[in-house]
Amino acid sequence: MSTSGRFARLAFAMLLLSTAWAQRRRDPLNSLEEDQLRDAAQDPAERLKLYIVFARTRLTSLEQMRADPKVTDRAQQTRDRLQNFLDVYDELNDNLDTFVERKADIRKPLKAVIEADTEFQAKLRALKSSVDANKDGSKQYDFLLTNVLDAVDGGVQDHRQLLNEQEEAAKHKKK
Amino acid sequence: MRLRIRIVALLLAASLLASAKTETLQELIAREEAAKVEDRPALCTEIAERQLKAADELYTAGKEDEAQAAVKDVVTYSEKAHDAAIQSGKKLKNTEIDFRKMAAKLRDIKRSLNFDDQAPVQAAADRLESLRTDLLSHMFGKGK
């Protein structure tokens, strides 16, 4: 086989490998969102604001998909979009934990997170009611939806408690 | 007399609590190795979570090699937690939720790293996702 033929085969094998790796790789954020997060690495308020936007985008896309009559694999797409939302919401919580460990004052962004929690909770509960009313294909994501609701319900409580703790700590600092 | 017994009991409980809090990683690993299979999912997950926290701190300190070793431990102990949860049929849901949160943390760590250091962390996150999916299959009877 010629050198160019061997090179072409090698390049093809590498392409296949990279495609397989990309398919296996699971990341809820796209590269643009990753860049935005990287730019906000040192700013807790900005970073948390971004996570709220990313989570909201996932829920909006879920609502739009479910309202689209042309969608055929609704159950699978609902499942994927719910999982994406949950992944982003988990990362938001993980960032909150990190900022708390660093003893950062996150009272302002926390208020925005709590407002977003309430919004997410309402949207997810509406979805749950609609799913309970029309059981079509919901088996695929019923458990996940319950998990997502549990995560957001838990988040609401944790975030409010955290805000109270931060307010209390700020009062003591002032004294 | 009763008061004395109460005080002793309280002191004992406090000392147990304090010793549990200060348990080192090695002690925790030793406890896991001697534990019953149904207690292993929680213990292995705790070890994995501790190593995940350590990995985060090591990457921040610029100690990439040690951080990668800690990430490897995260995967090893998650695999052990997965196997024990399936074998015992206990703590499947808790383990699945813990894996989900650890995978999120790994992805977050990955985003803070140079491109060259990202691959093993992403691979660890993917492995945890795959273990999680397998646990879900068992929970719904497909993996039995």
Q: According to the model, what pLDDT value does residue A133 have?
A: 84
Is residue B7 pLDDT above 70, yes or no? no
Average confidence (pLDDT) over A111-121: 97
Is residue B79 pLDDT above 90, yes or no? yes
Condensed to tens digits (0 to 9), the pLDDT of residues A12-55 reads 444 444 444 444 557 899 999 999 999 998 899 999 999 999 99
Neighbours of A101 (CB within 10 A): 11
Name the DSSP class of B113: S
Instruction: Flag the least confident range among B68-72, B120-124, B134-138.
Output: B134-138
Task: Provide, rounded to the nearest whole percent, the portion of chain B with pLDDT above 70.
Answer: 83
Average confidence (pLDDT) over B99-105: 96
Q: How many CA atoms lie within 13 A of B88 on its CB side?
A: 19
Closest partner residue to A90 (CB to CB) among B100, B126, B139 is B100
In the block, tokens 């609902």 appear at A78
Is residue A8 pLDDT above 60, yes or no? no
Q: According to the model, what pLDDT value does residue A19 have?
A: 41
Q: Which residue of B has its CA nearest to A85?
A: B104
Is residue B17 pLDDT above 80, yes or no? no
Is residue B74 pLDDT above 90, yes or no? yes
ipTM value > 0.90: no
Is residue B118 pLDDT above 80, yes or no? yes
Q: How confident is the model at residue A115 (pLDDT cuts 50, 70, 90)?
A: very high
Closest partner residue to A26 (CB to CB) among B112, B129, B139 is B129
Q: According to the model, what pLDDT value does residue A111 have?
A: 97
Question: Do A102 and A161 touch, CB atoms closer than 8 A?
Answer: no
Question: Do A76 and A140 touch, CB atoms closer than 8 A?
Answer: yes
Q: H/E/C letters for each residue in chain A? A: CCHHHHHHHHHHHHHHHHHHHHHHCCCCCCHHHHHHHHHCCCCHHHHHHHHHHHHHHHHHHHHHHHHCCCCCCHHHHHHHHHHHHHHHHHHHHHHHHHHHHCCCCCHHHHHHHHHHHHHHHHHHHHHHHHHHHCCCCHHHCHHHHHHHHHHHHHHHHHHHHHHHHHHHHHHHHHC
Q: Does A94 touch chain B if contact means CB atoms closer than 8 Å? A: yes
Q: According to the model, what pLDDT value does residue A139 have?
A: 82
Closest partner residue to B126 (CB to CB) among A24, A41, A147 is A24
Instruction: Show residues of chain B in contact with A28, CB under 8 Å.
Output: 107
Q: According to the model, what pLDDT value does residue A14 have?
A: 47
How many inter-chain contacts (A to B, CB under 8 Å) are there?
Answer: 40
Q: According to the model, what pLDDT value does residue A15 have?
A: 41
